[in-house]
Chains A and B, each alone.
Chain A
Amino acid sequence: MNIDSIRDGVVLDHIQAGKSMLIYRYLHLDALDCSVAIIQNARSARMGKKDIIKIDTPMELDLDVLGYFDANITVNIIRGGELVEKKHVEPPQRLVNVIRCRNPRCITTAEEQLDAIFLLSDPVRHTYRCAYCDTATDKTFPDVRT
């Protein structure tokens, strides 16, 4: 399968296989007016299989979103067809307005103007808890804070 190289843009590499659509959605890539390629189950010597996202325009990415969903992602910045920067992401200590609290008793579910704030509570297991009510996040929970 051939997908053209990009000249100016971003390549998200080493995405855990199966997570590319989740990241596509949380980064709001559907709102872009350029080519976005999602490659699923690409062969990887290191990971066995992986997903890749190629974005055909220079853009600032929310690295906190990437770090939250998959801290192994590599962000490759492409300029003039050349790789000019490679970034590795980390789980953020604090995640603001990315995901919503799933606890129906949490104040953020009743008053949506409040920032949805989550704090990293377990760096080993990448567990985040709502700063308001302490409820742990569920990474399969599909609700996006918009």
Chain B
Amino acid sequence: MPRHLIDITDLTVGEIDSLIATAENILDNPGAYCDVCARRQLATLYFEPSTRTRLSFESAMLSLGGQVLGFSSADSSSTAKGETVTDTVHTVSCYADIIAMRHPKEGAPFAAAQVSEVPIINAGDGGHNHPTQTLTDLLTIHRERGKLSGFTIGFCGDLKFGRTVHSLVNALSRYSGIRYVFISPLELKLPRYVKEHSLKNRNIPYEQTTELSAVLPELDILYMTRVQKERFFNEEDYLRLKDSYILTPAKLSDAKPDLSILHPLPRVNEISTAVDRDPRAVYWKQVRYGKYIRMALIMFLLGLTPEKETL
């Protein structure tokens, strides 16, 4: 049975720490890893559009000396002819050594993992999970704070459909000494199952509020999210909620000087571009780190390591 990454909890805390250590090693010494995946193929199956995740997976595999194949929309695959996701994945698993897939339906990667002969990486399934973004977020937090414990983190925006939020809360709940503040409109609150599964069952306290300005001075990390148009059935609701929180330099005047602002991107207008120049904005570094943590993950799932003499 191949090892898959469908949910962030498929990895133990020790494995996550090890992936972070490997990614940091790659950042320091990329040349040592340039042939680790030689003669291996990564298939990127994107049943839903993506820029960052797909390209970072492809860049990661190419930087490891491997090759990539795949499709970037459901229209250009047999899905358009009515093929099921499991048949598509079963087919591709006969060609590739590892598969990264994104699908608009929640649970599609879990279904794929039931039939795949090679490792499946969930690159996002609807509003459900996005574990490689979570690994990216964890690496970013680790690089910025030097540890994965002992801070106050605020999640702001669409916490209902924001799959990156669900996965990150789930992952961080296994580390200690973290204070959680959830900032969202009432309609976009964190789903009950995430609160129960990740926090209440572990007796971890959390706060919920609709006011970002009231809690911003307390935060060490602010995780901003976009209100995602594609998750709404009703455009009226989207238009009403999309501008709920817009981060500007003025709003940041009350924030801590060492705040780290993360965003999984893409953004629309929830972070003003003027904030990009603030040293507390680390979301562009976060994009860069995404490639390195995916390199570490691909190697881990394929059971590959660099030759010792190159390290």
A residues touching B (Cβ–Cβ < 8 Å)?
103, 105-111, 113-114, 121-122, 129-136
Contact = CB atoms under 8 A, between A and B. Distances in A.
A129 B194 CA distance: 12
A131 B193 contact: no
Given A107-B85, A113-B84, A114-B86, A136 B193 contact: yes
Interface of B: 84-86, 103-108, 110-111, 125-128, 192-193, 196-197
Nearest to A125: B196
Given A113-B84, A132-B111, A107 B193 contact: no
B6 to A, nearest CB: 10
Given A105-B127, A107-B125, A111-B84, 11 more contacts: A103-B106, A105-B104, A105-B126, A106-B105, A107-B106, A108-B107, A113-B84, A114-B86, A132-B111, A133-B128, A135-B106
Nearest to B106: A133
Given A105-B105, A110-B105, A121 B85 contact: no
Contacts of A135: 106, 193
B106 A132 contact: yes
A132 B84 contact: no
B86 A105 contact: no
A107 B103 contact: yes
A133 B163 CA distance: 11
13 contacts: A105-B105, A105-B128, A106-B107, A107-B85, A107-B111, A108-B111, A111-B111, A129-B193, A132-B108, A132-B111, A133-B106, A135-B106, A136-B192
Contacts of B105: 105-107, 109-111
Contact of A106 (B84, B106, B197): B106
Contacts of A106: 105-107
A88 to B, nearest CB: 27
Contacts of B197: 121, 134
A134 B84 contact: no
Task: Please give me the 5 A-B residue pairs with the lowest Cβ-Cβ distance, nearest first.
Answer: A132-B107, A133-B106, A107-B105, A133-B107, A107-B108
A108 B125 CA distance: 13
Contacts of B106: 103, 105-107, 132-135
Nearest to A134: B193
Nearest to A131: B110
A111 B85 contact: yes
A86 B155 CA distance: 53
A121 B193 CA distance: 10
Contacts of B192: 136
A106 B249 CA distance: 39
A86 B103 CA distance: 47
A135 B110 CA distance: 14
B59 to A, nearest CB: 28
A129 B192 CA distance: 12
Contacts of B103: 107
Nearest to A103: B106
Contact of A111 (B86, B125, B193, B196): B86
A110 to B, nearest CB: 5
Contact of B107 (A107, A121, A122, A136): A107
A15 to B, nearest CB: 29
Max chain A C-beta neighbours (<10 A), residue from B86, B104, B193: B193
